[in-house]
Structures are given as structure tokens and as C-alpha cells.
Amino acid sequence: MKVIFLDVDGVLNSDEYFDKIRNLDIQGIEREIDIEKIKLLKKAIDETGAKVVLCSSWRYTTNAQHLKELLSNYGIYVDTTPFLENKRGLEIKQWLSDNENVEDFVILDDEIFDSYDQELIKKLIKISNGNGRNFGEGLLIRDVDEIIKRLGRNKSKDEVNEELQR
């Protein structure tokens, strides 16, 4: 299984998005999440076949269920990392330890945490330029291309059948 560990702020939203909606009457989770960023994430998932694991602090907030529902509306179903002293690197490592059938993974985050060791930093696709102070650009098509490059494309049914016939 391929996995995308997903942060939310600075990945599924951006400074530009918040500027755009500032004077609009948008209610609910859409006030926090840019649907265009979800569509980009969906493209990466469709291309790679990856599963999404939420590692953001959003996973233990009141918005978590609303976020999961919004993602599921786009065919994105998420698991979550465990809570371990709010140390994201340890939480990702624990999830990987509990799910041994992971063939590869990437981390989408706009921050580099102290708890990220060298192995995790190699798997990081640093999103945005907010550096934890602002939201930056959020997920972009170049990031999706990098996800696909690192995780590889899903094989089509024809490719699988060809391999089986060899």
C-alpha cells in the first residue's frame, strides 16, 4: 500500500484562498478548506492509488468529522495517526509500525517538525512557503507531480493483465 500522510493547514488551504473568501458568506468547513486543493489531492490519489492518513492536528479538533465528510464527498477516505504527545514524526512512525504492508509513503506538510528524523525528512514533500506562520500557497500541481514521481503511477488493468500473461 502507498500512503500520503496529510497535513491540512498550508496544504488544503492557502493565503490566496483566505484572501479570496474574506468577504464572501461561506459557511462550514468550506470556510477553512479550499475545494481546489482537495481536487489536486484527489488527482494524486487517483494516479498513485495511495491511501490518505491524516497527521494534522485537525484530527483531534471539532472540525475533524466535517473534514472527513468533505473529503469523502470527493472519494477520499482517511485514516488517522495516533496521538503521541503531539510529536508528528513519532505519530507517523507509530502508524507505519502498526500497518506493516506499506510499500512507500510521502508526507505532505508545510512545516518540518523536530520529531522528523532523516528517514521522514527524505519522505517529506514540503508544501507551501508559509513555514507555520502563514498558510503560503497550499498544494500545487507541481506538488502533485512530485507525489506521482515518488510513489509511482497505478498500473492500468491492461498493464496488470500483460504482466500476468508473461
Q: Which domains does the chain have, with CATH numbers?
A: 2-165 (3.40.50)
Residue 165, C-beta contacts closer than 8 angstroms, at least 6 positions apart: none
Q: What is the 3-state secondary structure (H, E, C) of 117-144?
A: CHHHHHHEEECCCCCCCCCCCCCCHHHH
Give pLDDT tens digits for 52-98. 999 998 888 888 999 999 999 999 999 999 999 889 999 999 999 99
For residues 53 and 108, give the distance between their C-alpha atoms in angstroms, rounded to a whole number: 10
Q: How confident is the model at residue 162 (pLDDT cuts 50, 70, 90)?
A: low
Residue that wins the pLDDT comparison between 5 and 29: 5
pTM of the complete model: 0.90
User: Closest by alpha carbon to 8, among 43, 54, 51?
Assistant: 54
Give pLDDT tens digits for 84-139. 988 999 999 999 999 989 999 999 999 888 999 999 999 999 997 765 558 889 99
